[in-house]
């Protein structure tokens, strides 16, 4: 748990710099942290996201289909057309691939690992605001998205980042490419976490699976 706290402290420092750069009046004693504006963003702004400027209501949104292949489950993405509705959870799987490790909090593994091909697009699992997009020592290139309802989604070990902090993203929108970055990566994969009200939870409990 200690490395998680250290990473959050690092993110807090980056968030302080971001808020200051955006012109907010913050001081070194400001208690607002990554969790204050991320996990609890809905307590400040309500649970509603505004429709992005220039939104095309007929533009395809991401979804996924699932098929069995041997003893593993391969997740494929499909396209659906729908009017814009701010989507939180249940969420879609963020990348096409195989789940190689499950949620094991007792082993300090607070998400799931999805193995895939280097450079494969990683997608936002639900509508939200990017609150972190940068390099970390352990997680490599990391993106964190704040969603309504007290949720955060983490995307680690990316090869490249396609979004920057402060941007709004919708479910199914590309945010990164799958990689092998960071000290704790053991091969090309995405480490995906979901946090609810400051506590890591099993992503499998929130992923929307559509059988084909």
User: From the first residue on, what is the mean pLDDT of each consecutive set of 10 residues in the chain (212 residues)?
Assistant: 55 61 52 38 40 43 42 44 50 91 95 96 96 96 95 97 97 97 95 95 82 38
pLDDT score recorded for residue 140: 97
Q: What superfamily does domain 34-205 belong to in CATH?
A: Glucose Permease (Domain IIA) (2.70.70.10)
Strand partners, 81: 60
pLDDT score recorded for residue 17: 63
By the 8 A CB rule, do 205 and 196 touch?
A: no
Cα of 50 vs its chain's centroid, Å: 19
**Global confidence as pTM:** 0.63
Count Cβ neighbours within 10 Å for each residue of 184-202 and write b for 16 or more, e otherwise. ebeebbbbbbbbbeeebbb
Count Cβ neighbours within 10 Å for each residue of 151-166 and write b for 16 or more, e otherwise. bbbbbbbbbebbbebe
Q: Where are the domains of the chain?
A: 34-205
* Angle of CA points 120, 122, 124, to nearest 5°: 165
Residues 6+ away with beta carbon under 8 Å from 81: 58, 59, 60, 61
Cβ burial, residue 115 (10 Å; 0-12/13-18/19+): middle
């Amino acid at each position: 748990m200690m490395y998680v706290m250290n990473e959050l402290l690092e993110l807090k420092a980056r968030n302080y710099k971001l808020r200051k750069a955006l012109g907010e009046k913050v001081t070194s004693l400001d208690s607002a942290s990554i969790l204050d504006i991320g996990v609890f963003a809905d307590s400040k702004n309500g649970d509603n996201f505004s429709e992005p400027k220039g939104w095309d209501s007929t533009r395809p949104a991401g979804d996924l289909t699932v098929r069995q292949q041997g003893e593993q489950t391969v997740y494929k993405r499909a396209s659906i057309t729908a009017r814009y509705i701010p989507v939180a959870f249940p969420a879609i799987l963020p990348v096409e691939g195989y789940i190689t490790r499950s949620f094991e909090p007792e082993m300090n593994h607070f998400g799931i690992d999805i193995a895939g091909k280097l450079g494969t697009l990683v997608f936002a699992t639900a509508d939200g605001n990017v609150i972190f997009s940068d390099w970390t020592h352990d997680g490599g290139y990391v993106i964190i998205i704040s969603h309504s309802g007290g949720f955060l989604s983490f995307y680690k070990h990316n090869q490249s980042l396609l979004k920057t902090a402060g941007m709004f993203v919708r479910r199914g929108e590309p945010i990164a490419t799958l990689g092998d970055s960071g000290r704790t990566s053991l091969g090309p994969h995405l480490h995906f976490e979901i946090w609810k009200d400051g506590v890591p939870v099993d992503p499998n409990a929130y992923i929307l699976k559509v059988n084909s």
